[in-house]
């Protein structure tokens, strides 16, 4: 088995709970992640699934160190990056990239696509041969070169998401966090983006954490799956094993709740699953 890129042990994250903040004084802490242990093997695509509030996005953001854990270790290539300072993280930022859910809010409306893709290159000391590198990034995601001079609003949803992928991959990162990147797209566009990500991950040997609420998408794309609920890992295993033989009742409930595009008269019968 390949050496893991990430090795996470006893990971806990607590964040201020603003809904319980008193008028004066600090908000009390709420524990979001309650002790997680897992590895992400090099070159693998790992699906992270869970319902809203399960902590899947917080986990992703902690892996790329946008959030500092309150306890536990995050070993990245053997080194604990859990409590590195911003300066200490600086050289790692290039390797830890992120594709966002909503390109409408993650692409600056005032910048051209060129500027958007070039910005992180400059930031990370890849400012030489900028034109070439941006051209290469656009080509990689299947966008024509003249898109470099366009703005966000001139692009379709799928094209915008391609720009998000181009920006993240232009840096040739070791790890990419993809947080619900297809959930706002039509099925046809979704199919294009998934096929593209699948191809690029294989070509570039990327390690990907793919956060999604959609188990059908995860089964298609990922080699292993982490099922989360209320800040804990419910079940974690190789994709085929998880789908063919889910061990936990919660995983089975999640699967049973997916409306497959096929006729099933019993699906809506109340007896079919736990009461509301």
| Cα separation, 66 vs 86, whole angstroms | 10
**Minimum CB–partner distance for residue 217 and another protein (Å):** 5
Is the CB of 177 or the CB of 217 nearer to another protein?
217
Binding mask 247-266 for another protein (x = CB under 8 A): ------xxxxxxxxxxxx--
Among 123, 134, 129, 58, residue whose Cα is nearest residue 91: 123
157 binds another protein (CB under 8 A): yes
**Among 1-9, 24-32, 127-135, 237-245, which window interacts with another protein (CB under 8 A)?**
237-245
Q: How many residues bind another protein (CB under 8 A)?
A: 40
Among 104, 107, 99, residue whose Cα is nearest residue 197: 99
Can you state the angle between helices 157-169 and 113-123, rounded to 10 degrees? 20
**Among 88-96, 136-144, 162-170, 238-246, which window interacts with another protein (CB under 8 A)?**
238-246
Tell me which long-range contacts 188-197 makes (C-beta under 8 A, separation of at least 24).
Answer: 189/156, 189/157, 189/158, 189/161, 190/217, 192/158, 193/158, 193/161, 193/162, 193/165, 194/220, 194/221, 196/141, 196/142, 196/162, 196/165, 197/165, 197/221
138 binds another protein (CB under 8 A): no
Is the CB of 68 or the CB of 264 nearer to another protein?
264
243 binds another protein (CB under 8 A): yes
- For residue 121, how far is the Cα from the chain centroid? 21
Q: Identify residues 23-52 at the interface with another protein (CB under 8 A).
A: 51-52
Q: Identify residues 183-222 at the interface with another protein (CB under 8 A).
A: 186-192, 194-195, 213-220
Which residues bind to another protein, rule: CB under 8 A? 51-52, 157, 186-192, 194-195, 213-220, 239-240, 243, 253-264, 267-268, 270, 273, 276
């Amino acid at each position: 088995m390949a050496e893991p890129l990430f090795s996470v042990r006893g990971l806990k994250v607590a964040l201020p709970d603003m809904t319980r903040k008193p008028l004066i004084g600090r908000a009390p802490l709420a524990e979001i992640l309650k002790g997680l242990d897992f590895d992400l093997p090099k070159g693998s695509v790992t699906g992270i699934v869970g319902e809203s509030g399960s902590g899947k996005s917080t986990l992703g953001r902690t892996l790329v160190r946008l959030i500092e854990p309150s306890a536990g270790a995050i070993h990245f290539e053997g080194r604990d990056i859990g409590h590195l300072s911003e300066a200490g993280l600086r050289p790692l930022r290039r390797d830890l990239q992120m594709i966002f859910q909503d390109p409408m809010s993650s692409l600056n409306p005032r910048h051209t696509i060129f500027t958007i893709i070039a910005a992180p290159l400059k930031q990370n000391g890849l400012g030489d041969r900028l034109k070439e590198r941006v051209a290469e990034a656009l080509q990689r995601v299947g966008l024509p070169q003249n898109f470099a001079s366009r703005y966000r609003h001139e692009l379709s949803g799928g094209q915008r998401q391609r720009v998000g992928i181009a920006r993240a991959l232009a840096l040739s990162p070791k790890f990419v966090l993809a947080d619900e990147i297809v959930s706002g797209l039509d099925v046809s566009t979704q199919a294009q983006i998934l096929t593209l990500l699948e191809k690029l991950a294989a070509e570039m040997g990327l390690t990907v954490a793919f956060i999604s609420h959609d188990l059908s998408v995860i089964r298609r794309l990922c080699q292993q799956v982490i099922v989360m609920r209320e800040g804990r890992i419910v079940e974690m295993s190789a994709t085929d094993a998880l789908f063919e033989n889910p061990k936990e009742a919660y995983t089975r409930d999640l699967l049973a709740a997916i409306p497959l595009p096929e006729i099933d008269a019993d699906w809506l019968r109340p007896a079919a699953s736990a009461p509301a």
